[in-house]
Amino acid sequence: MSKALPKRSENYSEWYNEIIKRADLAENSAVRGCMVIKPYGYAIWEKMQRALDDMFKATGHVNAYFPLFVPKSFLEKEEEHAEGFAKECAVVTHYRLKANPEGGLMVDPNAKLEEELIIRPTSEAIIWNTYKNWIQSWRDLPLLINQWANVVRWEMRTRLFLRTAEFLWQEGHTAHATREEAVEETERMLGVYADFAENWMAVPVIQGVKTPSERFAGAEETYCIEALMQDGKALQAGTSHFLGQNFAKSFDVQFVNKENQLEYAWATSWGVSTRLMGALIMAHSDDQGLVLPPKLAPIQVVIIPIYRSPEDLATISEKVDPIIAELKAAGISVKYDDSDNQRSGWKFAEYELKGVPIRLALGMRDLEAGTVEVARRDTLTKESMPLEKIVETLTSLLDEIQTNIYDKALKFREANTFAVDSWEDFKSQIEQGGFVSAHWDGTPETEETIKQQTKATIRCIPLDAVEESGKCVFSGNPSSKRVIFAKAY
């Protein structure tokens, strides 16, 4: 605990790992690439889940649950999809162990599955195979279903929260009667994700579409939200896919439309995952530790009594109890840390590390003066404030902190977004980091060459890109709008 965190400016990667470790968010498990999400980290994820789930329901979606297993033959049905996921599939081949004559257990060779089962890397295949029986008529549409689940993608290089073999996510899978409705849904859910990122996570995002080479395997169009981390790298925080009729055709999902004709259903899918935890940590935290936006903080206010004798503590606690009750009644999550096994200086550092937005310290002198010391995590400032109306004060302070964290991240992004028009400038700017807004000739060849030479990818073609005639930063060929390049997680 006493050792300082690595500094962001010196070793960003180590700083990220150490925050996750010291703030008790997660750890690597004994299973390669799989993480354990620890209680404090999980409490943040639960807040994310609750907020997102409410937003999904408010937009007419319902939850359901589909099997963990995808038969191999299902995955094969949509060709691009199969290609995209085949290389990272965990495969179940047997359904029983037996005693090993040499001790311990062994796979029972007599319990081999006729057809291998894939642990879902995503659920389009199993879900569209199910939808086949649910969709007969236009009256059955739209089908607006979401699932909260674990998925497995056997990544070779993993990183806590950002890229793990198993991760938690939600995946929406909707079916519609028309292309227009499906596109509208795809865009609506992108909007929900952007709203969540900005208003809950306090992370500003660029909404855009992916280039064909970066699309989800099986999608006609992939929309995304892209955020900028403090080291100048981009992070894709959520995707929403317009799947056209690809899955309906692969799984033969036809319905009778209003004109009484058979037609394939139109599909979307959209997801965000525990990767958002990585975005949250990297977007806001500082050299003292985690910085959490109040709306996602498991503890919003911590109160620490400063005392020398048990009598003092009793006097302080008596004053604090009704404040705690009032804070809770106002929907504010509060922790009163009167534990006696650590000094208050240790506690201050600990709650700073854990990103608690507001810390109150209350001693005997405060009590006499009718004041309390209020420390803000976002600014690391402290101030003595009157105890009178403290609940109103804290309520509005939490709002102020939420806004301030967002504004800070937005300012950072603005200061680190660069319009660049020459190849030399492009290369040097990509090297320095940030979002680079540049013209691109629209060809996958140019995109690939730029990636090879600079490691930068096209993060997205922003939805709000301004039409302007320009020249591709690499080829010099004509282009009608700028796209966003960056190195990315």
Binding site for a copy of itself (CB under 8 A): 27, 29-31, 34-39, 42-43, 45-46, 62-76, 82, 86-99, 104-105, 107, 116-119, 126, 129-130, 133, 139, 145, 149-150, 152, 154, 166, 168, 341
Output phi, psi for 438, to 5 deg.
Answer: -145, 160
DSSP state of 177: S
**Which residue type is seen at 469?**
S
> Using CA atoms, how far apart are residues 299 and 43, in angstroms rounded to an integer?
9
Least distance in angstroms from the C-beta of 110 to a copy of itself: 12
> Using CA atoms, how far apart are residues 446 and 449, in angstroms rounded to an integer?
5
User: Could you please report the per-residue DSSP string of 416-482?
Assistant: TEEE--SHHHHHHHHHH-SEEEEE--S-HHHHHHHHHHH--EEEEEETTPPP--EE-TTT--EESSE
92 burial (CB, 10 Å; 0-12 / 13-18 / 19+) is middle
CB nearer to a copy of itself: give 12 or 154. Answer: 154
From the CB of residue 334, how many other CB atoms can be counted at a distance below 10 Å?
Answer: 21
For 146, residues 6+ apart whose C-beta sits below 8 A from its C-beta are 53, 56, 61, 62, 63, 64, 170, 171, 172, 173
CB nearer to a copy of itself: give 99 or 415. Answer: 99
List, in sequence order, the alpha helices (H) in 135-254.
179-199, 246-250
Least distance in angstroms from the C-beta of 45 to a copy of itself: 8
